[in-house]
């Protein structure tokens, strides 16, 4: 992402510009952070700088390098492990924690899961979901991490 820093964009601003550069997309629902974050997002939307072919190539390479850790949120797979365990939600809370740095929201949402469900999470076998996961994510390991860090 240094490529975009050199052009004066934060990584978040560069991503917003790429999304809005795609003519198939009419709107982008972006970040929820503080007022600085909001101002950066608005500035990116209002900025008239056109992305170059090189910019798009840089993004394409970045996506190829980082997509393996991306959780697609396919609840039909993850939530089939046990009817009462919202695994896909827990994966999303971990994304807030690990990728967005929004530890407070992650912990608040995790705390809304009833205690008996949280206790049960570490006793479930996630192998079936892991074998169907399109991203081949280690779901059991992530759930373990959630229970340890978000509780
Ligand atoms: S199956 Fe994989 S990609 Fe889909 S929600 Fe579960 S962990 Fe995420």
Tens of pLDDT, residue by residue over 120-141, are 999 999 999 999 999 999 999 9
Which stretches of the chain drop beneath a pLDDT of 70?
31-32
Q: Is 8 left (phi over 0), alpha (psi -120 to 50) or beta?
A: left
Per-residue pLDDT, 144:
96
Cα–Cα separations (whole angstroms), residue 95 to 28, 29, 101, 117, 125: 19, 17, 8, 20, 22
Check if 71 has its Cβ closer than 6 Å to any atom of ligand 1: yes
pTM score: 0.75
Q: How remote is the CA of residue 137 from the centroid of ligand 1, in Å?
A: 7
Q: Are 90 and 146 in contact (CB under 8 A)?
A: yes
Per-residue pLDDT, 131:
95
Per-residue pLDDT, 31:
67
**21 contacts: CB under 8 Å, gap ≥ 6:** 50, 51, 56
Q: Is 102 left (phi over 0), alpha (psi -120 to 50) or beta?
A: beta
Ligand 1 pocket test, candidate residues 128, 135, 141, 142, most atoms within 8 A of CB: 135
Per-residue pLDDT, 148:
95
């Amino acid at each position: 992402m240094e490529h975009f820093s050199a052009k004066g964009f934060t990584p978040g601003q560069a991503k917003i510009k790429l999304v809005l550069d795609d003519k198939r997309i009419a709107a982008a629902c972006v970040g929820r952070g503080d007022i600085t974050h909001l101002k950066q997002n608005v500035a990116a939307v209002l900025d008239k700088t056109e992305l170059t072919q090189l910019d798009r190539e840089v993004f394409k390479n970045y996506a190829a390098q980082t997509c393996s850790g991306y959780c697609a949120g396919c609840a039909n797979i993850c939530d089939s492990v046990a009817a009462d365990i919202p695994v896909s939600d827990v994966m999303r809370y971990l994304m807030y924690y690990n990728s967005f740095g929004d530890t407070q929201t992650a912990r608040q949402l995790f705390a809304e899961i009833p205690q008996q469900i949280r206790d049960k999470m570490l006793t479930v076998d996630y192998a079936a979901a892991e074998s169907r996961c399109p991203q081949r994510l280690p779901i059991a390991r992530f759930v373990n991490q959630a229970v340890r860090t978000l509780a």
